[in-house]
Amino acid sequence: MNDLEAQLTDLKQVAQDEIARAAALDDLEQLRVAYLGKKGRLSKVLGGMGKLAAADRPRIGALANTVKDVLQTDLEKRKTTLQAAQIEAQLAAETLDVTMPGVFTAQGRIHPINSITDQIVDIFLGLGYTVAQGPEIETDYYNFEALNFLADHPARDMQDTLYLPDGNLMRTHTSNVQIRYMKEHEPPMRVVAAGRCYRRDTVDATHAAVFHQVEFFAVDQGLTFTDLKGTIKVFLERLFGETEVRFRPSYFPFTEPSAEVDVKWQGRWLEILGCGMIDPNVLKAVGYDPEVYTGFAAGLGVERLAMVQNQIDDIRRLYSSDLRFLNQF
Ligand code: DAH
């Protein structure tokens, strides 16, 4: 056997052993460079080919190619094995135990007042209404005068209305939005407005000094009380499903005729809104001709509706910030 032949066979044996024992992909790469690289051991052995007799060259050259092929194949195979092992190890390390108990994260909730306000406004949006807003600090004109309250109307009394030192007041209802909106727009219109209102009411189980209303109103030619009743019926059905509803004649300075609407709650009638046909004096105050246009309007107490919807018996709970209470919603 030729010396080079022996070297090649030996190199093949040693290299195969080392490749088989390589424990990491990095080690394998180092072996590839050491044996098959440009300056690797195989090249070195082949450097001696020049001194061979011409008759030996083809045989030894073929052997060298075989050694190279065998080592390449071994390297590939070992690489595949090591890669698979690496993935296995990674999978084992990152195993997800889906039966482990979760970690509690505190989450905010929508307050019942905001939730029902959104539902109400959504119903009116569905009926083609436009959303409007008005200021909570208001002048006597928009809160009372333009709404046909006489100068000595009891609602203006200090007992009811919160006045500010500058003569302005905290709006006592969302009806101010009627005046502000109608002055800025021409009929026909259908408008819904939600917001906070303020009164110095005695605070008891069903009244609070700050409360929320939703106002809705429509002005067009030929609107009648029937349109108002139908609108309220559809609205209450969408909000509560089937509930018993009753209309009672009532009085408001800004509507004529006027009514109050009650729903049956826990066996008794609970007043939830006031409504009526917009008084001709109000239409005149905003520059509309009452001979051409009629309108209807209503104001709802949001707290009452939230109480009915969620079976809450004391209005003050809604503002208590008691998480045991609020977390139920
Ligand atoms: N503004 C009235 C209140 O606060 C509620 C109300 C009654 C509004 C009749 C209206 C209405 O628009 O037509 O008690």
**CATH code at position 122:** 3.30.930.10
* Mutation probe of ligand 1 site: the residue of 197, 254, 296, 305 with most atoms within 8 A of C-beta: 254
Residue with the nearest Cα to atom 8 of ligand 1? 299
168 and 25 assigned to the same domain:
no
Ramachandran angles phi, psi of 144, nearest 5°: -130, -60
DSSP H or E segment with residue 280: helix 280-285
| Residue 212, C-beta contacts closer than 8 angstroms, at least 6 positions apart | 113, 117, 194, 195, 196, 197, 301, 302, 303
Task: Kindly report the pTM of this predicted structure.
Answer: 0.69
- Ranges of residues in the chain with a pLDDT under 50 are none
Cα(145) to ligand 1 centroid in Å equals 14
The pLDDT of residue 292: 98
263 and 172 assigned to the same domain:
yes
Cα(241) to ligand 1 centroid in Å equals 24
58 and 135 assigned to the same domain:
no
Q: Is the CB of 299 under 6 A from ligand 1?
A: yes
154 and 253 assigned to the same domain:
yes
Query: pLDDT for 205-263, tens place per residue?
Result: 666 688 999 999 999 999 999 999 999 999 999 998 888 899 999 999 999 999 999 98
The pLDDT of residue 47: 84
The pLDDT of residue 53: 83
How many distinct structural domains can be found in the chain? 2
Cα(255) to ligand 1 centroid in Å equals 8
Q: Is the CB of 176 under 6 A from ligand 1?
A: no
Single residue among 33, 63, 94 that ends a domain in this structure: 94
Single residue among 67, 94, 121 that ends a domain in this structure: 94
- Point out the ligand 1 atom lying closest to the alpha carbon of residue 178: 12
Pair 193, 131: CB distance under 8 Å: yes
The pLDDT of residue 205: 60
The pLDDT of residue 159: 62
Q: Which of 207, 202, 143, 133 is nearest to 172 (CA)?
A: 143
Ramachandran angles phi, psi of 219, nearest 5°: -130, 130
Single residue among 62, 94, 126 that ends a domain in this structure: 94
65 and 127 assigned to the same domain:
no
| Residue 155, C-beta contacts closer than 8 angstroms, at least 6 positions apart | 144, 149, 161, 172
The pLDDT of residue 203: 57
Q: Is the CB of 274 under 6 A from ligand 1?
A: yes
90 and 130 assigned to the same domain:
no
- Point out the ligand 1 atom lying closest to the alpha carbon of residue 216: 12
167 and 50 assigned to the same domain:
no
- Classify strands 255-265 and 268-278 as parallel, antiparallel or unpaired: antiparallel
Pair 298, 217: CB distance under 8 Å: yes
> Does residue 102 form part of some domain?
no
Which structural domain range is residue 79 located in? 3-94
Q: Which two tokens stand for residue 19?
A: 């490749």
Measured N-to-C along each axis, helices 225-240 and 112-126 cross at an angle, to the nearest 10 degrees, of: 130
69 and 182 assigned to the same domain:
no
> Does residue 107 form part of some domain?
no
Q: Length of the chain, please?
A: 329
Query: pLDDT for 293-304, tens place per residue?
Result: 999 999 999 998
